[in-house]
Amino acid sequence: MEKAQQKLFAATFFNDIAALKEILEKSSETILSIPIPETYRGFSQSDNIAICAEHIALMTCDCFYDYRDQSNPIDAKVDESFSGLIEARGRQIIPQDIYNNAVEVLKLFNNYVKVDDEIDYKNLLRFTSVFNLDDETDRWFAKEDIDGFIQSGFRRIDVELMNCTDVKDRKKIVELLELGANPYVDLDEAQEGSNIMNIMGMDLESHMNIYCGLWNLNKDEINDDKLIFDMLLELSITAGNADMIRTINKHTKFNIKG
């Protein structure tokens, strides 16, 4: 990535409104081209992720939306996966401040470009997924798995909801929920808590902790393309999980397990 793009990414990621305003006054080009490490390319046909910088701010809002009223600071602990790249500075972050600042960043972007209302997380996943998102049979549960669940007495729409949530297919998730899919079904009968809400919740908590640890970085340290990709990956996973959980909670017909 060019230095200017790295600075745009860092200023947006850390809600640095002053730096961002200076950047945008020089150039209103907000599309970032982030190299994809070979080990992450999966079924992507591109060597780069093309993403609008304002989408980073949108994802930040998705991460902290449920904590937008939390004014108490939380520790930003560096996860061991980043321990060799990030210095642990013992920083704390205030979710309310991060959310509000991200909203202000979106307002600033809106002066230069049309900002989307939401992120297509399935499309973003296309760059890194181990699944071929264009092949409906290549999912968490393969066709033979689904057939096995149905023979065991489970409903197809409940199993399909698991698959659609895993690949962040918001449109299909809403369709299945409107048809009565139950997100609280434990498909692993021997393991309580194997329902999609529990799985997504645990995954969100894990990645939220990793993402928060990235706030130990300073924006002038963001000069490595691999680090930028990893930061975007953690942000998108965290935000995508949070968005999927909210989508399910909004549209499900089931308020309690069962």
Q: Are 170 and 242 in contact (CB under 8 A)?
A: no
User: Cα separations (Å) of 101 from 19, 105, 184, 187?
Assistant: 13, 6, 35, 40
Tell me the per-residue pLDDT of 160-189, one tens digit each, with 9 for 90 and over.
Answer: 998 888 889 999 999 999 999 999 988 775
Indicate whether this model's pTM tops 0.75: yes
Helices then strands, counting H and E runs in the chain, come out as 10, 4
Q: Are 86 and 213 in contact (CB under 8 A)?
A: yes
Q: Are 195 and 172 in contact (CB under 8 A)?
A: no
Q: How confident is the model at residue 66 (pLDDT cuts 50, 70, 90)?
A: very high
The token pair at 224 is 């490595």
**Looking at the predicted structure, is the pLDDT value of residue 258 above 50?**
no
Tell me the per-residue pLDDT of 93-148, one tens digit each, with 9 for 90 and over.
Answer: 999 999 999 999 999 999 999 999 899 998 887 766 555 556 565 556 777 788 88
**Looking at the predicted structure, is the pLDDT value of residue 70 above 90?**
yes
How far apart (Å, rounded) are the C-alpha atoms in residues 81 and 230?
10
Could you tell me which residue, 77 or 135, shows the higher pLDDT? 77
How far apart (Å, rounded) are the C-alpha atoms in residues 50 and 127?
10
Nearest to 87, CA basis, from 98, 99, 76: 76
The token pair at 32 is 């970032």
Concatenated DSSP letters of 107-169: HHHTTTSPPPSS--HHHHHTTT-SS-TT-TTSSSS-HHHHHHHHHTT--HHHHHHHHHHHTT-
Residues of the chain with pLDDT > 70: what percent? 88
| Domain locations in the chain as residue ranges | 3-251
How far apart (Å, rounded) are the C-alpha atoms in residues 196 and 42?
24
Burial of residue 205 (number of CB atoms within 10 Å: 0-12, 13-18, 19+): exposed
The answer for 90, left when phi > 0, alpha when psi is -120 to 50, beta otherwise, is left
Q: HSE of 80 in the Cβ direction (CA atoms, 13 Å)?
A: 0
Mutual angle of helices 225-251 and 3-13, in 10-degree steps: 40
Q: What is the pLDDT of residue 167?
A: 85
